Amino acid sequence: MRVVVVGAGMSGLVAARALMSSDVDVTVVDKGRSPGGRMATRRIGDATLDHGAQFFTVRTPAFGHRVDDWVARGLVHVWNHGFDGHDGHPRYVAGRGMNSLAKDLASGVDVQCSTMAFAIRPGHGARWDVVIDDGTVRPADAVIVTTPLPQAFALLVDAGIDLDEALIRTDYDRTIALLAVLDRPTTVAPAGGVQLPGDDVGFVADNQAKGVSSHPAVTLHASPAWSEQHWDDDVETLRTDLEVLARPWLDGARIVESQVKKWRFATPRTPWPDPCWVSTDGSVVLAGDAFDGPRLEAAHNSGLAAAHSLTG
């Protein structure tokens, strides 16, 4: 069996590894320059900042086994046990940034980055042709699509597959992020992070407190409402406005450099209750964090479910 996985985020990489363990021939294609999706880390000077997913929790055995392995190898550690006190669920972070976990999952996998899937169509020599934007084709007996659902539907327009109407209507909240390098350490609350502190701010994280950055640096995620309202503002206006939003959390530290990152498909508003969606003939599978909850754990388990749907 030849399988092409579209998307090298958590779901796609986990699905690929699970398929490889069943001796399936797997290729992963992703439009980004490196694997990871929203497991994203950026370096600005001496600072390291997670600008997508900030942490993750563990609530299922399947993901727990993965995290136990990461802990044993020193890839992740506990940041805190909640932002408003102790809720019993450790918040894990990656010491070298969240993207380091994507690179770990991609090790030994045929991941073709800077390779944007343009369409999925009935094939000639195989069941499916995954058409790349440069005109080349990746033939496949089955395809797993882990992109945000609007992008997945665009890929499948010519596939002749009946897609569930509720999935087609799935929409996502947007998030605009500020990555700010500071002139001195700050204290973003005792836990090092603040979740949903106000109408305009969704999350603020101290990357140095997380153990990710050796240099003081803060990531701020604007709220979905603020991000929607300001989505079309120019970058310099966004930077100025976001720096104003960040000031209450900087304890007087000065921003010496900053960047803006926009996530169009940050959080699915109505997650699909099942871990993945499978076409009638079983050869096309949709997976990702839109399935069973918008968390890294859900994306991980969705990838496992997608692989299992093809191998049994």
Do residues 76 and 90 touch, judged by C-beta distance below 8 A?
no
Do residues 215 and 45 touch, judged by C-beta distance below 8 A?
yes
Report CA torsion sign: 184, 189, 190, 196. negative
Task: Give the three-state DSSP class for 144.
Answer: strand
For 163-213, the pLDDT digits (tens) are: 988 888 899 999 999 999 999 999 898 889 998 877 899 999 999 999 999
Backbone angles phi, psi at 276, to 5 degrees: -165, 170
Tell me if the pTM is above 0.85: yes
Mean pLDDT for the stretch of residues 63-67: 97
For 269-306, the pLDDT digits (tens) are: 999 999 999 999 999 999 999 998 879 999 999 999 99
Task: Give the integer Cα–Cα distance in Å for 209 and 95.
Answer: 11
Q: Give 56's DSSP letter.
A: B
Structural domains of the chain, with CATH? 2-33+113-170+272-311 (3.50.50.60), 172-268 (3.90.660.10)
**pLDDT at residue 84 above 90?**
no
Q: Which residue has the tokens 């109407």?
A: 165
Report CA torsion sign: 247, 251, 253, 259. negative
Q: Which residue has the tokens 């995954």?
A: 130
Do residues 69 and 309 touch, judged by C-beta distance below 8 A?
no
**pLDDT at residue 36 above 80?**
yes
For 199-225, the pLDDT digits (tens) are: 899 999 999 999 999 999 999 999 999
**pLDDT at residue 86 above 90?**
no
For 130-150, the pLDDT digits (tens) are: 999 999 999 999 999 999 999
Backbone angles phi, psi at 69, to 5 degrees: -65, -45
CB atoms within 10 A of CB 35: 25
Task: Give the integer Cα–Cα distance in Å for 235 and 223.
Answer: 17
